[in-house]
Amino acid sequence: MQIINYKQVRYNLVARCVAEPGLALGVHIPSPYDRALGHQILMTTIPSVTSLATSLGEFPPEAVIFGRSEVMQSLRNRMDKVASANVPVLIQGESGTGKDIIARMIHGLSPWRTGPFVKVNCPAIPGTLLESELFGYEKGAFTGAYGSKPGRVELAHRGTLFLDEISELDLGLQSKLLQLLQDGQFCRIGAQEDKKVEVRVVCATNRVLEVEIESGTFRQDLFYRINVVNLQMPPLRERKSDIPDLVAYFLEYYNRKYNCRARTLSGDLMSALQKHHWPGNIRELENLIKRYVILGNEEVISSDLVAHQQEYPTLDLNFDGPIALKTITRQATRELERKVILKVLQAHHWNRKQAARALSISYRALLYKIRDAGLPPNRSSRRRIDPLPPQDVAAD
């Protein structure tokens, strides 16, 4: 166990980060919202879980965390209200959206901010060990238990217990966690008596727990216990207006960290970033900017974006008027067909006869589709392949 104790932490100073100080990574917040000095931070770690404090780094300002989008401002207001109430909070959202950082902000805003913040990364600990890590054990409880050991729940007394990816808990542990939430009591492995703790429980998951309940892998009664207040983290593709501020923050930070002088991104590239689907969310954006800073070439970002475009076709929809679903579907199908033909041609070194056989169509049909899709007729005349021009969408 590693214990870190900070004293006289100033209001505007930073906390510790998990591996990198990125927005999507865990950062303990002693203070962006604290109004006094002398906060003590207790964080516990074990080798099987990433350290909660491995490197000193800056904590992103609120303007970067919440951005300008309405959905994040709404989440911020909801978080401010729930932070002071001792009720369980469930944070849901895709991987890389910043669930960990919101959990730490809740702790930093709460009356228990001077207490410990204990994180448990449920998937990182094997199921056979997770119970002992959560609830601890007594001497002689099992082979190798040469002494008693407090669990994470006990270490979080009068603080916050953060259960990351709670959907990974097996049903047996879910039952014990339910008891903890109901009466604040738990029992160490091998103990005869229950222990009582005062702990605020915050959970996070990237899964839809209602679906897990239907499949029988998550207890419905536990869901109702942890879902007193729900905070839904939006994916980055739903808050694209925040991308410029995130890019500027990561660019400035990694320029200082790596002693580089990477320039501000061009307008065309910034536009491409805002059109990207972002399956990895903020974590993906951070890594992209990190590579750009180190390598110093916009082509590094452009090549990654082009590679993902084949997986996530983009459609420009005008919501100010009628949306012609049939026409849009035809356009999307045509674009997808074009990408499939291009990949098959490339896989067969532009041999059109082999490509036609692979696609189970006639050679003449392939030639027609190549011409219709605007692809080069053969490898020797291959040119830069641009996306299909947008088509006017009229109401059917």
CA distance 293 to 289: 6
242 DSSP assignment = G
310 pLDDT tier (thresholds 50, 70, 90): low
What is the tens place of the pLDDT at every residue in 192-227? 899 999 999 999 999 999 999 999 999 999 999 999
Identify the pLDDT of residue 350. 83
* pLDDT over 90 (residue 378): no
CA distance 376 to 384: 9
3-state secondary structure of 138: coil
Predicted confidence (pLDDT) at residue 231 exceeds the cutoff of 80: yes
> Per-residue confidence at 338, pLDDT binned at 50, 70, 90?
confident
Q: What is the pLDDT of residue 226?
A: 97
Report the percentage of the chain scoring pLDDT > 70.
75
Distances (CA, A) of 222 to 135, 176, 298: 17, 10, 48
Decide if 117 contacts 26 (C-beta within 8 A). Answer: no
Confidence of residue 46 (pLDDT cuts 50, 70, 90): very low
β-bridge mates for residue 55, sequence order = 17
This prediction has a pTM of 0.67
- At 229, is the pLDDT very low, low, confident or very high (cuts 50, 70, 90)? very high
Give residue 70's region: left, alpha or beta (phi > 0; psi -120 to 50): alpha
Flag whether pLDDT at 62 surpasses 80: yes
Whole-number Å distance between alpha carbons of 375 and 105: 51
pLDDT at 216: 93
Q: What digits encode the pLDDT tens for the residues 85-100?
A: 999 999 999 999 999 9
Q: What is the mean pLDDT of residues 330-345?
A: 82
Q: What is the largest CA-CA distance in the chain?
A: 80
**Taking Cα atoms as reference points, which of 272, 264, 268, 267 lies closest to residue 248?**
264
| Structural domains of the chain sorted by starting position, each given as residue range(s) with its CATH number in brackets | 16-234 (3.40.50.300), 238-309 (1.10.8.60), 319-396 (1.10.10.60)
Residue-level pLDDT at 368? 85
pLDDT at position 315, please?
Answer: 56
**Exposure string for 318-356, b = 16+ CB within 10 A, e = fewer:** eeeeeeeeeebeebeeebeebbebbebbeebebebeebb
Q: Is residue 38's pLDDT more than 80?
A: no
CA nearest to 55, candidates 90, 29, 20? 20
- Cβ–Cβ under 8 Å, residues 8 and 38: yes
Give residue 244's pLDDT. 95
**pLDDT tens digits along 131-185:** 999 999 998 888 888 899 999 999 999 999 999 999 999 999 999 999 999 999 9
Please give the pLDDT value at position 314. 56
Mean pLDDT of 53-81: 80
How far, CA to CA in Å, does 218 sit from each of 48, 209, 318, 369?
Answer: 24, 7, 40, 49
Residues present in the chain in total:
396
